[in-house]
Structure formats: structure tokens, C-alpha cells
Amino acid sequence: MGLGIRLTTVAIYKPIELISWNNLKLNDLSYEIIKLDKNQAKVKFKFIIQSEQNTAVEINFNQKIITQKLTKGINHFSIDETIHNPKLWWPNGMGKQYLYDYQFKIKQGNEQISKYLKFGLRTIELVQEKDEVGSRFYFKVNGIPTYMKGANYIPQDNFVSRVSKNDYEKLINSSVEANMNMIRIWGGGIYEDDYFYELCDEKGLLVWQDFMYACVFYPGDQDFLNNVKQETIDQVNRLKNHTSIALWCGNNEIDEAWKNWGYQKQMGWSKQDSLSIWKDYQTTFHHIIPNVLDSILPKSENRYWPSSPSIGWRRKESLTQGDSHYWGVWWGMEPFETYEKKVPRFASEYGFQGMPTLKTVKSMFSEKDTLSKNSAIILAHQKHPKGWETINEYMQRDYVVPTDFVQYNYVSQLLQARGIQLAIEAHRRAKPYNMGSLYWQLNDVWPVTSWSSLDKLGNWKALHYQVKRSFENVLISVEKEENVYKIYIVNDLLKNLKGKVKFSVVDFNGNTHWTNDKDVIILSNSSTKIMELTDEILKGSSSTKAFLRIEFESNGEKYSRNYFFEKPKDLALTKSTIKIKKISHNQFEISTNVLAKDVYLLDENNQFDDNFFDLIPNESRIISGKNTIQNLKNYSLYDTMNVKNQ
């Protein structure tokens, strides 16, 4: 699992049931949406009942009673239901997640079987239309092209039985709070617990579901293939009624591994070996799995993608069609700015490492241990062979590298957030060319320096706070090309936005040196370039001592963005005086006399609604915590760089 520790975890970890019946057994109950519009929904409920005799049953649901004749053996039948004025289910950020809750009571004499079915009314399409550069790859939800914002998910613990309902709730809530609408369940982990999918249904998180095959080649003998088929049947039947399932994906990176990772040469396979292995691959992912999906799912729910990514990141076609795992940044050591040049149609993987929060780091140590980046404990919790080397190289490019451990931890998180911010915003600016951004990765399987935005204890790293901002439905973003600053407003809302945009160049003391404004109309579900500015706006001020402030107000809602002209290490920051005024047990007002860059509020028993943010002079912000504030500290980028510079 990326940087997961290697542990042997083979055991039966789910409840064991002994199932018995007398005359009736409900083998399956599913539903199919036959028709859906604003006036009515037509739903077909499909039953598979095993009967020990020829008989008749009463099916009671939604204040209706239907009599159904059964013959001895397996009975397939359906019941049609019309729902008037249906309430639609929407992904997070697009509307409500209304779920219809049906109870079916199947009675035969004194015997009764009860079954609940909870589902949302929605349509999902995977669209792959050819265009002038390649082919599009995007999802339509309820007929609307929908930009997917989210992350890749791995198991929450090496010992999966230790994951509690509270853990699932905390993770899903953190995803929703960060404005996500999709989670990709990575093929190197497990098929998740039912409760995970129930929460996704309730919270509006669409699920990209990999089958559990990743990065290696699998056997093709008949026993194994029979196992593949049965596993697919079991999992698809278990998960098919979940409204959140958006895509079934055959595997993670096996197609790319075959074509780009050089396995044939490394393993010394003969031509005959290679042909046999590739045939086995095609049997599993192009025949068995899709055939099972065809046999179980209605056409409207049968969205299958054989392998993610469809093309390896070193090939130019990976940016023009299908989905992409772009690893030129990190693995290829390319600069963060490469994200702005290499934008795919759908980014299903990309990422950069950062350290876990201090609270999680401390959980690795005993009280007598000294926190140090070079300690054996920290080194053991970094499983990438060149992890620290890579982080240090990127940090030197963009930041002053601290020697103090706490400050290094802080800057490593800022570095990770900065890289992924550039990627997400480049993807979203390119809408509708790009229609999805799922970073690697959401969570951790153990306490570790990794690509996650939530650490093992569920704490928000700087990246998760940045993701929350970068995934907002309305995003102001700046793209620099030479001396031109292109200003975009991305609008994922399903309504047009009309208002005024104000531009200002402000120095770090809060003085305004240049202003301009413009009336704009931003169409719904769009990305719009609203202005191009040049370095002329910096006349009378310095790029190292000022930033571009962009403010947009529409229908009473305010959106803003601060854009810095230089990399963090080149900013001429000065010492700020941060004032904190307590308002309530979990809320305070924070202000500063000069720019405070990347303010990090630390209370190890709390999570704040915003953090690692820029605090503007002469303005105050209200910050809330989830718990009572106990021991609040704050750090800023100036403090870190200033210590190093002395």
C-alpha cells in the first residue's frame, strides 16, 4: 500500500454466520432505474427467491401488497414501482443526497422475510467522446457533466479489523468537508466494509471502485480464474445497490506495468512466456470481469474501465485520452510547475509526500526520545528508498530548509500542499478539457511520511486544508506565462455568477499600490479566463514584498485569492505580531499587523476549520475548532525562514 509496513495479516476478520431457512430464502434483491425525469421515476425491483415448494407469497412494501406465485427452486421476478415528483440524489456540492428507504416483507404462511433497500435516484454516464486532440473522459450525473474532485483511498489500518465505525465516519466527513465528490478505492487494498459505502451514499461521495488487483501479474490457471469469477460475482452483488458506485475498474497500473515498466526484460521472460502472461491478463480483465458485470448489472449501471491508467505517464497520449497517473513530479523529479504544462483529460493519480502532523509524529516516540529527522524511528517511518532525498531536493527549490525538526515538519507539509495545489488548479482551469482530479492519496495505513492528506490518526495535514480551498465550487486561480498573469474563475455551481472582480497589488504592510476592477458573468459549470495582467501592475512595488489580491462578489457571496509573485523562499517577509482574541470555548479572532504567511495554528487536541493560511494585515478572521481550545500555539513561514537565516 504505497508506504505501508509489511505485516502478515492472513486471517478471518469478518463475522461468521450460519444461515438457515425453512421454506423461503431471499437470495437477492436489487433495483433498476428504468426512467427518471422531473415528473416521475420508474423503478424495477428484482427478486431472486429460493423456494422449497410450489407456493404463493405476499410482498408488502410502501403500503402495497402484491401476491407472487413461486415454483420449487430458484424464482426470478420483478415488481415495477412509480415514484411521482422524484427527489434526486446529487454528489456532494451539487445538491442533496436524498435516499429512498424501502422495506420489503415477504410472507408465506407464518414465515416472513424482511429486507431493507436504501437507494438514491440518479443517473451516471461515463462519457468517452473523440475530439480534435484525443478523446474525452468524464462523468455525467443526472445529465450534467460533473467535475470530479477527490483522492485515492487505501485501507485505514494494516489490521483491517481494527477500523471502527468512528474511523469511517471521521474519514468520510473529512472528505466531504474538503469539498470532495469522489473517492477512488485503490486496487492494492481491500473491498471496503458495507458501512463505508453506506456513508458514501449518505454524504454524496461517488466511488471509483477498483477490483483488487494492482501492479503485478496474476496467474491464469483455471482454479485461479474460477476464483476471480466468483470474487467478482460476490463483490458486485454486494455493492451493486449502492447509489455512490460510479465506476468499476479492473485493476491498478497493470496495463501500464506491462507496457512501460520493463518487466519482460527484468524477469528474462521468453517471447512465449510474455504471450502467455498477456493472454492471462486479457482473460481476467477483458473477459471474465466485464462478462460478470454484463450478467449482473443493468446497462445503465455497467460502467467498466479495464485498467487505471489507460496509458503510462511517459507517453504523450496519456494527456489526450483516458485517465492518467502523472508521476513526472516526484518519481521523475520534475518541478511542480510541470503540473501546469502537462494536464490530462482525467487525473486519477498524482502526488507528493509530506510528513504527518506533530501529534502523529509524537505517537511514534516515547517521552524520552528526542524528535529528530535523522532518528531511527523517523527513518523507519519513511519507506520510499529516496523519500527524504526527494523531499529535500524539492524543498530547496521553493523554501528555505529548516534545521529544527518541528519547523522542518511544518515546511514539509507546506511543500506538499504547494505542489498539489498547483496540480489541482491547473486541472480545474482546463475544464472541460480536464474533468477530474483525484490526488494520491487520502489516508494512511500507519504513521508515516507519505503522500496522504490525512495522517494515520485522521489529523488534517496542510495538504488537506489546501485541498479544501482548491476544491471549493468557486475557485479563483492564476496562471503565469512569462510576464503575463492569466486570471481564471472556475465555477462548478449549476448557476451563472454575475458580479464585480476587484484586483489589487498589496504590499506586506497592507498598503495598496495598484487597483482595478471588472464586471463579469461566469457561466455555470465552467472555467473562464477573466483577465490578463502583466508585470506593469508591479510598478512602484517589489515582487518580493507584495502580492496580487483578487476579490469577487456575486449574489452576496464573497470569494478571494492571494497570489504571490515569487516562490516562498524569495519573499521578503518580516516579523508579524499576531493577535488572538478568544470569542468562545472553541472560537477565536485572529489578526496581524503585517502579512503572516502560512499561519499554522497548533492545538494537539483540536482541528480547526482553516489552517496553514495567509493572514492579511488590517483584516481579522474568525477561526473555529471542533473541541475546546486548550493550548494554542501558532507558527508562520517567517519564523521558520528567519531562524534559518540567522
Q: Could you tell me the CA-to-CA distances from 484 to 58, 61, 487, 533, 537 in Å, in that order?
A: 72, 64, 10, 6, 10
> Is residue 16 packed enough to be buried (19+ CB in 10 Å), middle (13-18) or exposed (0-12)?
exposed
What is the rounded distance in angstroms from the CA atom of residue 601 to the CA atom of residue 102?
46
Give the length of the chain: 646
DSSP label at 165? Answer: H
Residue of 414, 375, 374 whose CA lies nearest to 398: 414
425 is an active site residue: no
> Is residue 396 packed enough to be buried (19+ CB in 10 Å), middle (13-18) or exposed (0-12)?
exposed
CB atoms within 10 A of CB 500: 12
Signed CA dihedral, 447, 452, 457, 459: sign only: positive
Strand-pair partners of 387: none
By the 8 A CB rule, do 218 and 112 touch? no
Pairing of strands 144-146, 148-153: unpaired
Catalytic-role residue among 192, 340, 349, 425: 349
Pairing of strands 324-325, 347-349: parallel
Catalytic-role residue among 253, 256, 301, 340: 253
Residue 257: phi, psi to the nearest 5?
A: -60, -40
604 is an active site residue: no
Residue of 637, 170, 624, 249 whose CA lies nearest to 415: 637
Cell of residue 247, nine digits: 465506476
109 Rama class: left (phi>0) / alpha (psi -120 to 50) / beta: left
Q: Could you tell me the CA-to-CA distances from 42 to 32, 122, 387 in Å, in that order?
A: 9, 12, 54
- In this structure, the dihedral spanned by the alpha carbons of residues 285, 288, 290 and 293, taken in order and rounded to 10 degrees, is -140
What is the rounded distance in angstroms from the CA atom of residue 523 to the CA atom of residue 532?
19
Cell of residue 83, nine digits: 415514484
What is the rounded distance in angstroms from the CA atom of residue 76 to the CA atom of residue 51?
11
Cell of residue 458, nine digits: 485522521
What is the rounded distance in angstroms from the CA atom of residue 159 to the CA atom of residue 35?
43
Q: How far is CA 265 from the centre of its chain?
A: 35
By the 8 A CB rule, do 323 and 256 touch? no
**Catalytic residue positions, numbered:** 253, 349
